[in-house]
Amino acid sequence: MSEATAILLAAGLSRRMGAKNKLLLPIGGTPMVRHVALTYLAAIDGPLTVVTGFKADRIAAALQGLDVKLAHNGAFDSGQPSSIAAGLAVVPDADLLLIGLAADQPLLSAADITALIEFHRNADLARITIPMEGERRGNPIVFPQTLRARLTENPDRPGCMSFTRQYPEYVQRAPMNAAGFYDDIDTPEEFRALVASETEATY
């Protein structure tokens, strides 16, 4: 059994980006979803499960050649919980399960994820670890194997958000300051700002 595996959600409609699917926008010449998937693959020793939905064929094409397992959510327009359930149905067992609630965190690094896993290892292994900066909640979230089945015990609201809020006693906060845990790309303005910062960094 692997030490750590992960689910990465890439099924959303990308409504706030307008006509473009944000997950296919280029980050350093690479589609965003592929860029983020590579980040996860560099930090975990188990397989990565990517949940697709909207424009699933194009997302799959962007991930071609990577060691990922695809799980399609036919009800992707119903929201995030159904995508988490789709991923949980196929993700293999591992000591730890990371759930990345969106594949639109291009500032997240493999070192960030590794630091989060290390925090979990050195904390209470039976609890869920959530990166936090003050009251700001980040992603991914780390689940121990012992709690994985609990994520689907409520069929009407599967997933981590409802569970962690209903059972705060199972949660521990990981003080993480890296911007990658908290910053995502939802709008054209945010993407332009990211591209501008990348351009400045090359000079």
Q: What is the CATH number of the domain that holds 82?
A: 3.90.550.10
- The verdict on residue 96 lying in a domain is yes
Q: Give the range of the structural domain holding residue 186, as residue numbers without chain letter.
A: 2-193
Give Cα separations from 188 to 78, 160, 166 (angstroms): 24, 28, 34
Q: What average pLDDT does range 143-171 have in this prediction?
A: 86
Which pTM value belongs to this model? 0.92
- The verdict on residue 73 lying in a domain is yes
CB count in 10 Å sphere of residue 77: 12
* pLDDT digits 0-9 by tens, 103-123: 889 999 999 999 999 999 999
- The verdict on residue 198 lying in a domain is no
Given a cut of 80, whether residue 155 has pLDDT beyond it is no
* pLDDT digits 0-9 by tens, 8-36: 999 987 777 666 888 999 998 999 999 99
Single out the residue of 70, 75, 86, 61 nearest to residue 13, CA to CA.
Answer: 75
- The verdict on residue 108 lying in a domain is yes
Give the separation between CA 33 and CA 173, rounded to whole angstroms.
27
* pLDDT digits 0-9 by tens, 54-106: 999 999 999 999 999 999 999 888 888 889 999 999 999 999 999 998 888 99
- The verdict on residue 201 lying in a domain is no
* Structure confidence at residue 13 (pLDDT): 78
What mean pLDDT, rounded, does the chain reach? Answer: 89
- The verdict on residue 203 lying in a domain is no
Token pair of 58, please?
A: 């194009």
- The verdict on residue 202 lying in a domain is no
Give the separation between CA 56 and CA 74, rounded to whole angstroms.
10
* Structure confidence at residue 202 (pLDDT): 47
Report the domain count for the chain: 1
Given a cut of 70, whether residue 1 has pLDDT beyond it is no
* Burial label, 134 (beta-carbon count in 10 A; 0-12, 13-18, 19+): exposed
- The verdict on residue 200 lying in a domain is no
